[in-house]
Structure 1
């Protein structure tokens, strides 16, 4: 009887202490003078994510609720305190002006068990800085120009395969075709192989690429756990991505570079450029950089092109004007589309920029406070170690900065209007020293893909097109809820 009573008393004490700790934890921000919403146990402020709305839309809800009341609002991912900046000036401070206080991303990686996850996206401090300095020359416009021909041939291949599909139906799910194009494109330049995903949807490279993009709820929980308790997560063997995915990309890259070294093969792609650093980094470290090129450019580029086709289908006047510019540009260039001409298509640039504004491929850039930071003109202090969630989606759809923000209007980015955009209200690739390293490649790939298919096909809403568009609530990036079904007609 005494033992049972002791266990019962211990249980009551444990529950009481746990309740007090959780209660105090969920007052983390209010105790420090920040405005916060009412979090609930155990999800914090994530109760609607994955069911009613995406994480991006969830942050947008709090952005709108607290805008004008505070420069930043305190939120909770489960029991982990995070901060959401609201004012563009504070965003500028975090990304650029006071970068030394926010130089890490706070993303989890495990170099021992998952070497491919330790790359310029996830590395911190001096490790990141040294790697970034070495890799930046790989992404110059001159290097992109060398890769243009390879991507161009794959875009032509996509056009031919879509033409074949139209013999059976003109109702196509375009998101999957654009994903297959970017898998083939980046598989070629980052891993030096032919994934053949355009021809075979079930190719091995395509399978692991889609598995990487389709992050599960358990994967999200592991990521948040790793971000909050990285040392413990490493002891548990957690990695940045599923083990079979990481093993596949690591093995594929190492096989490629070993074959190239043995056969003395030279090619205009990222593999050859990374091989130029083989005396400074291990094969695993180089593979990690090839992996992040793939990870950063596959889903983001296909997502941007997917949403652009949706908007062009709903806005035939914009689509016609874009097609005319592309056709005229090719005709004036002796029937050829090359790198310099692509970058010179001004209306295409405006259309792409408007797509990036309305559907940012990286909707929530993440930073980590690396030393206590006092928010200017306030008595609020962001504690060291705090994860900062910058919701670009909210800023770029704020009517204060973009009138009628839900309207797709490329004229926002014409030569006159672009000068009036408020600084740091439009950050689709982030900003500052840790902005997207592969931005040039992503833009080249997306512009080339859009130029080729818009020149050759007309896009219209079909019977299965979801209007208004809804986002997939379980996706960490913006993705259409029901795919992107469009009526496609050969021109």
Structure 2
């Protein structure tokens, strides 16, 4: 018993000194760092990680270009200056071309996709995938998105006959699950009419992680080499297997029956001579996983702000109805992207509520920060807090105010470069940006054209966010009053 006790005490002492040295990592490198040791970036104080980072941003802005922080005792760098962010994302991209996200092709094939691949694997995949996301290809899918948007309005109309208070986050998720399930997997998912559909079930499963799964995810992100040895999965097994098997079945059926549709499945089939079916399945999974929550988040917060700002909602509705009438009552792909005020509203929503509030870039070789004596060591991740930039009054006056006029033709020219980053920037920006904008704009257009949104007793004012959600997420849903126009 005594020997076990001494071993235990020795381990505690070793861990203590390891943590002490670890927490001096940035001091030894010459970087300023917050006083909090082993930072959980605000989570332990009931804040989201992006809110925790925002506290650091406000404390150190104007003092240094970047500070050293810790993610669960793992050192990371937090760039604050937009010019440094420009270097990281674009000018010195050769030093930061990886995201440093965990994936394991053998244990979890759906995790090895464009978002998580690094180095030459990413570069080759990005080159081959880029033609799939051109405006011409998006135009091909317009008819499907238009049809599913009409179904959203139709089913919501039936539901407000019994209740006019609805969780618009859930409706937004049902729309994006239905829409992306259709174009990425070639299936009529029926999510809008049946929120218990299998696609909704596994879409939510990707986000509703169990405590042990959250621990595994954190472990894999911070110790990827050991996680690969242990064959840790980054996605829940049941959800990953569902999306993998669903795509493989569609893939084989399309090939056997020589079926071609205007969707991502057919476009991915065009790359079958370059990639294995498992690799193509990973990309179909990415289209769903990335577009499901980000686009529904954009829709959710846009409807929230329109409900709180009736004058903006009325102005947007006027633009929509007038322009469609002028186009002989037809909505086309070209018209959707010509609606200037809709674009301004969407951009202001992206500014105030960026769906992905933190961008990650991994330093792949030692990088000396321009104009300083500081060096970011190889292997360190840079965390760019988009939320802080979007809410900085120096860049966006009165940032808490929802003001689409910030993005008028005249005012948008004055926005400081690399302070508005809803889709990232540079070579690793969001490849699905056009598709995400198309489906979000289409749904917002149909909803505002047919309904009036306003606050109800359950509406969160001011807004509160879920602490542990991977995306910016309203706490307990987005409840709004919905009335027929």
TM-score by length of 1: 0.97
Secondary structure, in 3 states, of the residue corresponding to 2:413? Answer: helix
1:461-486 Cα shifts (integer Å, max 9, x gaps): 11111111111112121111121111
1:51-78 Cα shifts (integer Å, max 9, x gaps): 6111111111111111111111111111
Measured in 2, the distance between the counterparts of 1:368 and 1:153 equals 41
Q: CA deviation at 1:232?
A: 1.2
Secondary structure, in 3 states, of the residue corresponding to 1:416? Answer: helix
Q: CA deviation at 1:5?
A: 5.1
1:284 aligns with one of 272, 278, 289 = 278
Secondary structure, in 3 states, of the residue corresponding to 1:365? Answer: strand
1:222 aligns with one of 202, 211, 216 = 216
Deviates more, 1:71-80 or 1:104-113: 71-80
2:445 aligns with one of 437, 440, 451 = 451
Q: CA deviation at 1:8?
A: 4.4
Q: CA deviation at 1:333?
A: 1.0
Partner of 2:108: 114
- What is the correspondence of 1:136-285 to structure 2 with a 5 Å cutoff? 136-285=130-279
- What is the correspondence of 1:454-469 to structure 2 with a 5 Å cutoff? 454-469=448-463
Deviates more, 1:220-229 or 1:466-475: 220-229
Contact 1:116–1:288 at 8 Å: present in 2 too? yes
Q: Does structure 1 residue 367 correspond to structure 2 residue 364?
A: no
Instruction: Classify 1:7/1:213 alpha carbon distance in 2 versus 1 (closer, same or farther; 3 Å).
Output: closer
1:369-417 Cα shifts (integer Å, max 9, x gaps): 0001111111111110001111101001100100000100000000100
Contact 1:51–1:474 at 8 Å: present in 2 too? no
TM-score by length of 2: 0.98
Q: Does structure 1 residue 476 correspond to structure 2 residue 462?
A: no
Secondary structure, in 3 states, of the residue corresponding to 1:489? Answer: strand
Instruction: Classify 1:335/1:189 alpha carbon distance in 2 versus 1 (closer, same or farther; 3 Å).
Output: same
- What is the correspondence of 1:273-352 to structure 2 with a 5 Å cutoff? 273-352=267-346
1:70-100 Cα shifts (integer Å, max 9, x gaps): 1111111111011111000011000000000
Secondary structure, in 3 states, of the residue corresponding to 2:361? Answer: strand
Q: CA deviation at 1:22?
A: 1.1
Q: CA deviation at 1:50?
A: 6.3
Measured in 2, the distance between the counterparts of 1:215 and 1:60 equals 25
Instruction: Classify 1:107/1:157 alpha carbon distance in 2 versus 1 (closer, same or farther; 3 Å).
Output: same
1:183-242 Cα shifts (integer Å, max 9, x gaps): 000000001111111111111111000111224443333223212221211122212211
Contact 2:185–2:250 at 8 Å: present in 1 too? yes
Measured in 1, the distance between the counterparts of 2:144 and 2:53 equals 39
Secondary structure, in 3 states, of the residue corresponding to 2:43? Answer: coil
Measured in 1, the distance between the counterparts of 2:5 and 2:159 equals 68
Contact 1:39–1:76 at 8 Å: present in 2 too? no
Instruction: Classify 1:311/1:16 alpha carbon distance in 2 versus 1 (closer, same or farther; 3 Å).
Output: same
Measured in 1, the distance between the counterparts of 2:5 and 2:46 equals 40
Contact 2:320–2:445 at 8 Å: present in 1 too? yes
Partner of 1:69: 63
1:132-171 Cα shifts (integer Å, max 9, x gaps): 0000000000000000000100000000000001110111
Contact 2:85–2:384 at 8 Å: present in 1 too? yes
Partner of 2:88: 94
Partner of 1:32: 29
2:120 aligns with one of 116, 119, 126 = 126
Secondary structure, in 3 states, of the residue corresponding to 1:73? Answer: strand
Instruction: Classify 1:450/1:50 alpha carbon distance in 2 versus 1 (closer, same or farther; 3 Å).
Output: farther
Instruction: Classify 1:58/1:113 alpha carbon distance in 2 versus 1 (closer, same or farther; 3 Å).
Output: same
Measured in 2, the distance between the counterparts of 1:90 and 1:398 equals 16
Measured in 2, the distance between the counterparts of 1:263 and 1:9 equals 69
Contact 2:39–2:73 at 8 Å: present in 1 too? no
Secondary structure, in 3 states, of the residue corresponding to 1:427? Answer: coil
Measured in 2, the distance between the counterparts of 1:308 and 1:233 equals 38
**Alpha-carbon RMSD:** 1.2
Q: CA deviation at 1:306?
A: 0.4
Deviates more, 1:11-20 or 1:130-139: 11-20
Structure 1 residues not aligned, in runs of 5+? none
Contact 1:215–1:475 at 8 Å: present in 2 too? no
Structure 2 residues not aligned, in runs of 5+? none
Contact 1:63–1:86 at 8 Å: present in 2 too? yes
Secondary structure, in 3 states, of the residue corresponding to 2:358? Answer: coil
Measured in 1, the distance between the counterparts of 2:206 and 2:4 equals 46
Measured in 2, the distance between the counterparts of 1:216 and 1:426 equals 33
Q: Does structure 1 residue 398 correspond to structure 2 residue 392?
A: yes
Partner of 1:417: 411
Secondary structure, in 3 states, of the residue corresponding to 1:303? Answer: helix
Measured in 2, the distance between the counterparts of 1:29 and 1:332 equals 61
Instruction: Classify 1:216/1:30 alpha carbon distance in 2 versus 1 (closer, same or farther; 3 Å).
Output: farther
Contact 1:51–1:473 at 8 Å: present in 2 too? no
